[in-house]
Chain A
Amino acid sequence: MLVAELKPTEEILGYLRPGERVFILSCNGCVASVGAGGEKAIADLRAVFSQNGHAVTGSLLAPFACNKALVGLRLLREEPALSQAHVLFVAACGVGVQAVAQVVDKAVYPATNTVTYGAFQGLWPGEERCQRCGQCLLAYTGGICPLTTCAKGLLHGPCGGSHEGECEVEKGRPCGWQKIYDRLSKIGRLDLLHQCRTPHDRKAHLEVPGTRRRSTLWDLERLED
C-alpha cells in the first residue's frame, strides 16, 4: 500500500513565478488508488492552476511514473504541449517525481507528499529513492532527493567531503549535492540555493496511523484479530 497526498495548494502555487505555464503529469499507478494521482489529480491540479493564473499547456496520464523509459516515450508525443510549459508538475510518489526529472530538461515539481510505501517500493525502481518523508523537497532540489542521494541527507549543499563530484563515503559514489547543483544549473534555477530551509520534520518517519494505511488486506487482518 503506497500512500501519497496532494500538497497544500499554497505550497504548489508557491513554487511558481507569476505567469508560468505548467504541464501536468499524473501517475496512474499506486498513487491513483488514493486519489493523489490518476485522472483525479489532473483534474484537481488543473483547477488549482487555472484559477490562479497559470495556463496548463497539457497533461499526461502515465501508467507508472517510475518507469523512466515509458514516461520518456510518452512525453515525446506530448512535445508540443511540453515545450510551451515552463515547469512540469508530477503527481506521483517520490520515486516517480525523481524518475520524471531524469528524463525532462525542465524544472520538475512534486505535486504530492509521499507518506508511506508500506511494503511497496515502486514497479520499476531505478536509482531514485524516496524516504516517504511526507514533506517532499524535490521542487527545491531539481527533482533529486537530498535525503536519499546525499549520504548525510543535507539540505543546503555539499559538505567538505565532496570532491570532484564524489562523496566522501566511498569511491565512485557521486556527491548528491553536486548532482543537485548541476541539475539546478541546467534548468536555470541556481537561485533556489539562496534560501534557508527550516529543519526537516522527522516525526513523519513514525509509522502512519491506521486510518491512512487501510486496505482490503489490512482490514482482513484486523477482522481475524
Chain B
Amino acid sequence: MNLRERLSRGEFVITCEAGPPKGTDVGPALEEADRLGRYVHAFNVTDLQSSVLRMSSCALCTLLKARGHEPILQVTCRDRNRLALQADLLGAWALGIENVLALTGDHPVLGDHPGAWPVFDLDSVQLVAAIRELNRGRDLAGNELQGHPDFLVGAVVNATAKPLEPHLAKMRLKAQLGVGFFQTQTVYDPQAYLEFVRKVEGLGVPILVGVIPLKSAKMARFMNENIAGVHVPEPIIQELEAAKTKEDREKRSVDICARIVRAVKPYAHGIHLMPMGWDFLVPQILDQAGI
C-alpha cells in the first residue's frame, strides 16, 4: 500500500527524513534507509536542505525506490525557475517517484554557497499550482503534455510560528489547491499544536507532525534561537540538562519525543521524523509512543 492509499484510508502515517550525501557516496544514506525501512512508510528526501550543496533529491529518491522504499521528493523554489521545476518533476515521475513535497526553500545566504542566485521564480503556492496543472496534463503555459504525472502533493506549514496568522492564510491557499497532506515544522509544545489544529481542522487535509529528537540542552537552546517557529519549552531543556551520561541523554530524548507524539497523535494523521543522525533511536521512539 502506498502513501496516498494510507492517507486516504486514514491510517496513521510515519515518514522519515533522508538527506542525500555531500558527495557521491550514497552508501550510508541507503543503509540508514534499509535499517529504518520496516518502521516507516516513506522517506522524505531533502532538496539541498539549509541551502547546503548536496546530491540531488531526485537521485536519492530513485535509488531508494530501487531498493523497495517509497520516496517523497522534496522540491524547493530556491534553485530552479518554472521551466526547470516542471522538467525535473516530469523526469521524477518517469523514474517512479509518486510523491512530492513542495516548499519555498531557505535563502541561499544561509548555506555554504551564500553568493548563489536566489531564484524563487515561483513561490510554494505557485509550485503546488504548477504540479496540479502537470497532474491534469498541462504545463504552466497551458500546453498539453504527452503523458502526465499523478503526484500526491504535500506542503509544509509551521504550526507553532509566531505570529501564526500570516502562515495560516498561505496554508489555506495551498489547501484550496488540493494538497494531499501538510507536514509541520518540528513541534515541542503539544498545547500550541492543538491551538493550531483547532484553527485549521476545517481544511480537511491530513497533517503529519514534525518530530526532531533533541540531542542535548545545547541543541534545544540553539534551535530556540536560530530556527524560525521552533520553541522548546524550558522544562524540556532542563530535563535534558539533568542527564549525566550519553545513554541517559538518549533515554530522555526518546522519552520527550514519545511523550509529544502521544500527546499530538489524536489530532494528527501521522508524524514526520527528522532524526538528524540519531536514526538508531527511531524504533524506541515509535515503540514508546505506542505506534
A198 vs B82: C-alpha distance in the bound complex, in angstroms? 12
Q: How far is the CB of B272 from chain A (nearest CB, A)?
A: 14
Q: Is the CB of A158 within 8 A of B107?
A: no
Task: Specify which chain B residues have a CB less than 8 angstroms from the CB of A190 in the assembled complex.
Answer: 169
Asked if A204 is an interface residue, CB under 8 A from chain B, the answer is: no
A155 vs B161: C-alpha distance in the bound complex, in angstroms? 19
In the complex with contacts A152-B104, A156-B173, A168-B110, A196-B118 CB distance below 8 A: no
Q: How far is the CB of B53 from chain A (nearest CB, A)?
A: 18
Asked if A188 is an interface residue, CB under 8 A from chain B, the answer is: no
Q: Is the CB of A161 within 8 A of B106?
A: yes
Asked if A164 is an interface residue, CB under 8 A from chain B, the answer is: yes
Q: Is the CB of B104 within 8 A of A181?
A: no
Q: How far is the CB of A182 from chain B (nearest CB, A)?
A: 9
Task: Specify which chain B residues have a CB less than 8 angstroms from the CB of A152 in the assembled complex.
Answer: 77-78, 104, 107, 118, 120, 123
A202 vs B109: C-alpha distance in the bound complex, in angstroms? 23
Asked if A186 is an interface residue, CB under 8 A from chain B, the answer is: no
Asked if B235 is an interface residue, CB under 8 A from chain A, the answer is: no
Task: Specify which chain A residues have a CB less than 8 angstroms from the CB of B121 in the assembled complex.
Answer: 199-200, 202
Per the 8 Å Cβ criterion, residues 180-207 of A in contact with B are 181, 190, 193-194, 196-200, 202
Closest to B123 in A: A154
Asked if B163 is an interface residue, CB under 8 A from chain A, the answer is: yes
Task: Specify which chain B residues have a CB less than 8 angstroms from the CB of A153 in the assembled complex.
Answer: 120
Task: Specify which chain A residues have a CB less than 8 angstroms from the CB of B172 in the assembled complex.
Answer: 194
* A169, A197, A202: the one within 8 Å of B107 (CB): A169
In the complex with contacts A154-B120, A162-B166, A163-B228, A199-B106 CB distance below 8 A: no
Closest to A162 in B: B228
Q: Is the CB of A163 within 8 A of B166?
A: no
Closest to B169 in A: A193
Q: Is the CB of B228 within 8 A of A157?
A: no
* B118, B122, B228: the one within 8 Å of A160 (CB): B228
Asked if B88 is an interface residue, CB under 8 A from chain A, the answer is: no
What mask results when residues 128 to 154 of chain A are scored 1 for a CB within 8 Å of chain B, else 0?
Answer: 000000000000000000000001111
* A156, A162, A170, A200: the one within 8 Å of B161 (CB): A162
Per the 8 Å Cβ criterion, residues 229-253 of B in contact with A are 229
Per the 8 Å Cβ criterion, residues 164-191 of B in contact with A are 165-167, 169-170, 172-173, 176-177, 185
Task: Specify which chain B residues have a CB less than 8 angstroms from the CB of A162 in the assembled complex.
Answer: 161, 166-167, 228
Interface positions of B (Cβ within 8 A of A): 77-78, 81-82, 103-107, 109-110, 118, 120-126, 129-130, 140, 156-158, 161-163, 165-167, 169-170, 172-173, 176-177, 185, 228-229
Interface positions of A (Cβ within 8 A of B): 151-165, 168-170, 177-178, 181, 190, 193-194, 196-200, 202
The 3 closest A-B pairs by CB, nearest first: A157-B170, A163-B228, A156-B125
